[in-house]
Amino acid sequence: MRSKFYFAILLAILASIVGSCGLIPDTETVMLITPSATPTWNPLTPTLEPSLTRAATRTPTVTPTPYPTVTPFATRVPSSTPGDSPTPGPSPTSKPIFTKTPGPSPTTEPSPTPSPIEVGFPTVDNTPLVAALYNAGNRIVILAHQRNGDRTKWDGFARVLQKNRYSVLSLDFRGYGGSGGTADFNRMDSDILAAVTFARQQLHADRIAIIGASMGGTYATAALGDPLVKGVALLSSPAKVENFSVSLSALQLPDPLKYFIGCEADALYMAALTDMFKQSIAKQDKLHPVRAELVSLKCAAHGLEIFNGPQQERLTALLLGFVQAALQ
């Protein structure tokens, strides 16, 4: 009995020593029993004590959330169309800016225009006339040449009008160029009216402007009463040619636009233009203003000859502006 008592005391001492050395797990440690052997627990046989292994820390497996793919600024551009050129992207601190590369200027690379064709039509007295047609739509500009020229003198300006989407009918007066008959200066007003009729009936004109050089401008005033004619420009024109005179009542119509232009050193014709302009606005009032303008250029040339001098660009711009104002 005494030996069993001492043996129990010895076991208690051993248990105390083992606990103080940290060999017995605390309450927060997970114990894993190795399943390879089935231990027999015997308090008297310490060597058969089950093996205790500290559990490995369970680190949860986290699947990272995929981030959306972000396109860099340099390639974040809208779907491009021909002629668009995206600008390289800015720094991340600024908003992307997209710019469009401008296309070629129409003045440097004008769109191709069709060549003029020759057309023919009769006057009321059955005189066959011919004209060059520069087709570009149903807004028609009729060009009338001066006495010492024909329709070819208008070719350069006619092409400018065509490139600006105005159709041009440049006629030869009777007895000139390809037109029949003789140069009867008392009947050339009917040539202008025949051109207006052709533009209306055959070209389906929506509106018409007429520009005449010298005698061409004088005869052009014969169409001022036609509702389809929206403007008449007189370039170095006199008030009378042979027996035909500009109608005062036609000049004083509120519409269409009347445009008088010449060189200040071409004194005789500039004086006539100034007088016709003053007559056109003589009876206007606030309720019935007359659309008329007078321009004097610093030159001495006459009519179409102005296109051959230093005022060429100025004259082209002025006449183009007149057409735009009349046919707008």
- The per-residue pLDDT for range 269-282, each reduced to its tens digit, is 999 999 999 999 99
- Has residue 252 been placed in a domain? yes
Tell me what pLDDT residue 285 has.
87
- Has residue 81 been placed in a domain? no
Tell me what pLDDT residue 327 has.
97
Residuewise pLDDT in 10s, the chain (328 residues):
555 566 666 666 655 554 544 444 443 433 333 334 444 434 444 433 344 344 444 444 444 444 333 333 333 333 333 333 333 333 333 333 223 333 333 443 445 678 999 999 999 999 999 999 999 999 999 999 999 999 999 999 999 999 999 999 999 999 999 999 999 999 999 999 999 999 999 999 999 999 999 999 999 999 999 999 999 999 999 999 999 999 999 999 999 999 999 999 999 999 999 999 999 999 898 888 999 999 999 999 999 999 999 999 999 999 999 999 999 9
Tell me what pLDDT residue 15 has.
55
Tell me what pLDDT residue 320 has.
98
CATH number at residue 308: 3.40.50.1820
Contact of 205 with 199, CB cutoff 8 Å: yes
Neighbouring residues of 272: CB distance < 8 A, sequence distance ≥ 6: 237, 238, 239
- Has residue 309 been placed in a domain? yes
Question: Total structural domains in the chain?
Answer: 1
Tell me what pLDDT residue 114 has.
85
CA distances (Å), origin 142, targets 63, 160, 207: 81, 14, 11
- Has residue 33 been placed in a domain? no
pLDDT digits (tens, 9 = 90+) for 97-125: 223 333 333 443 445 678 999 999 999 99
SS (H, E, C) the chain: CHHHHHHHHHHHHHHHHHHHCCCCCCCCCCEECCCCCCCCCCCCCHHHCCCCEECCCCCCCCCCCCCCCCCCHHHCCCCCCCCCCCCCCCCCCCCCCCCCCCCCCCCCCCCCCCCCEEEEEECCCCCEEEEEEECCCCEEEEEECCCCCCHHHHHHHHHHHHHCCCEEEEECCCCCCCCCCCCCCCCCHHHHHHHHHHHHHCCCCCEEEEEEECHHHHHHHHHCCCCCEEEEEEECCCCEECCEECCHHHHCCCCCEEEEEEECCCHHHHHHHHHHHHHHCCCCCCCCCCCEEEEEECCCCCHHHHHHCCCHHHHHHHHHHHHHHHHC
Please give the backbone phi and psi of residue 39, each rounded to the nearest 5 degrees, phi first. -75, 150
Q: Is pTM beyond 0.75 here?
A: no
200/193 Cα distance (integer angstroms): 11
Tell me what pLDDT residue 258 has.
98
- Has residue 141 been placed in a domain? yes
Residue whose entry in the numeric block shows the structure tokens 């050089």: 213
Tell me what pLDDT residue 103 has.
37
- Has residue 166 been placed in a domain? yes
Q: What angle do CA 209, 213, 214 make, to 5 degrees?
A: 130
Q: Give the domain extent around 315.
A: 117-327
Q: What angle do CA 58, 60, 63 make, to 5 degrees?
A: 155
227, 295, 218, 310 alpha-carbon torsion, rounded to 10°: -120
- Has residue 69 been placed in a domain? no
- Has residue 287 been placed in a domain? yes
